Structure 1
Amino acid sequence: MIEDDLDELLDDASDSQTSHSRRHTGRGRGSHSRRRHGAASKLIAILVIVAAILCGGIYGAGKVIGRISSGESAVDYAGPGDGSVIVQIQAGSTARDIARVLAFAEVVRTPAAFVNAAAADERSRSIQPGFYKLKQHVRAVDALASLLDVKSHTLFRLTIAEGMTTRQVLTALADRTGQPLSAFEEIVKNPGELQLPSYAAGIEGYLYPSTYDLRPGASGAATIKSFVDKFKAETAGLGIEGGAAALGRSPQDIVTVASIIEREVKNPDEGPKVARVIYNRLADTSGRFRRLDLDSTTRYALDEYEGPLTQSQLAANNPYNTRKVPGLPPGAISNPGKWALESALHPAAGPWMYFVSLPKSNVTVFATTDREWQDALARYRAEGGT
Structure 2
Amino acid sequence: MQTTLSEQARQLPRAEEAERILRACVHCGFCNATCPTYQLLGDELEGPRGRIYLIKQVLEGNQVTQKTQQHLDRCLSCRNCETTCPSGVDYHNLLDIGRAVVDAAVARPLGQRLVREGLRAVVAKPSLFKSLMSSGHLFRAVLPQRLQTKLPHPAAPAKARPTRHHARQVLMLEGCVQPSLSPNTNAATARVLDRLGIGVMPSREAGCCGAVDYHLDAQAAGLDRARRNIDAWWPSIEQGVEAIVQTASGCGAFIKEYGHLLSTDPSYADKAKKVSALAKDLVEVLRDEPLEMLAIHGAQRLAFHCPCTLQHAQKLGGAVESVLARLGFNLTAVPDGHLCCGSAGTYSITQPELSQQLRDKRLNALESGQPDVIITANVGCQSHLNGAGRTPVRHWIELVEAALP
Q: TM-score, normalised on structure 1?
A: 0.21
**Greater C-alpha Rg:** 1
Q: Which has the higher contact order (CA 8 A, sep 6+)?
A: 2
